[in-house]
Structure 1
């Protein structure tokens, strides 16, 4: 199987996870649309590089998510608000086998016993994970909450700026009262 050297997360990214090759090297397994392939990067590196290209990074995205959601563990992150790309992890992001699900591609879940869940995804994919269905859906809900809060915050308030009929003259001087306004 061909291994790609880089990858940018986009609307067709269904999920990312870690996978070791026969020599013990960690790659990222990506399900992209109907295809799957390996990337010669760790999943967290792909997320970070994608976010850097958009003017942020993983650390900042995580910090923002925690500010909005509270100090939650394994918090979701916004990758690209304009494209609707929100990812949420199944485990600690330091775990090589953490699966990062794209919120937009999760369609349904089904419990398969005590600690197994089948996740129905876009493009007809089905992923079976070692997690209670309720735990998975709580993580999914956190991602939905983050999406809702960030979209609400990005809309802002409509503000009108009315220019003064007489301009303001600002003169820089010295001392404690540095500026004089007229």
Structure 2
């Protein structure tokens, strides 16, 4: 793990983009009950470094979400499968001004003024996002559906299944074949 790095975890509420005095991208990581952490990198890179610490990557997380959602335009990202943390982007993560919000820490959101959405986090922070309420709601709904699909897959794979048919593999003189046992 690198020095001066905040790993995204269950307390992470948002990753906000800003710029240093020199114009370099800076991320402000907001964590519930903690002081903000500033990192000299884009929010996307904070997410990628966190995923790499879990032996994954940003590209892999995007591909996984796109596979589950059947679309890859601004997908939410699953940070940790054991303790599901889903981060949703405000818009394309390729843009340096893309902010990320933890689905679990969005307390509410509403239209502040035309073209701006006010997001209230679980820690009480208010963040004014320059995007329409419809666009933010679309990202929020996509993240909820993503969570639903992940939960559904977990339930399907964790059920004990009674075998309906038993198969037996026979081996004989260089030939292998499968047969159904009654």
TM bucket, shorter chain: 0.7 to 0.9
Are the structure 2 counterparts of residues 172 and 95 from structure 1 closer, same or farther at C-alpha, using a change threshold of 3 Å? farther
In the alignment, what sits opposite 1:26?
A: 25
In the alignment, what sits opposite 2:161?
A: 159
What SS is found at the alignment partner of 1:124? coil
Tell me if the contact between 2:18 and 2:26 (Cα under 8 Å) persists in the aligned partners.
yes
Tell me if the contact between 1:18 and 1:42 (Cα under 8 Å) persists in the aligned partners.
yes
In the alignment, what sits opposite 1:9?
A: 8
**Could you tell me how far apart the structure 1 residues matched to 2:118 and 2:72 are?**
24
What's the TM-score once normalised by structure 2's chain length? 0.82
> 1:61 Cα deviation (Å)?
1.3
In the alignment, what sits opposite 1:60?
A: 60
In the alignment, what sits opposite 2:135?
A: 135
What's the TM-score once normalised by structure 1's chain length? 0.82
> 1:124-179 deviations in whole A, cap 9, x for unaligned?
11100111112111100100000110111123332357xx9xx9775795xxx4x5
**Could you tell me how far apart the structure 2 residues matched to 1:109 and 1:26 are?**
26
> 1:52 Cα deviation (Å)?
2.2
- CA-atom RMSD, angstroms? 2.5
**Could you tell me how far apart the structure 1 residues matched to 2:60 and 2:161 are?**
28
Structure 1 runs of 4+ off > 6 angstroms? Answer: none
> 1:94 Cα deviation (Å)?
0.6
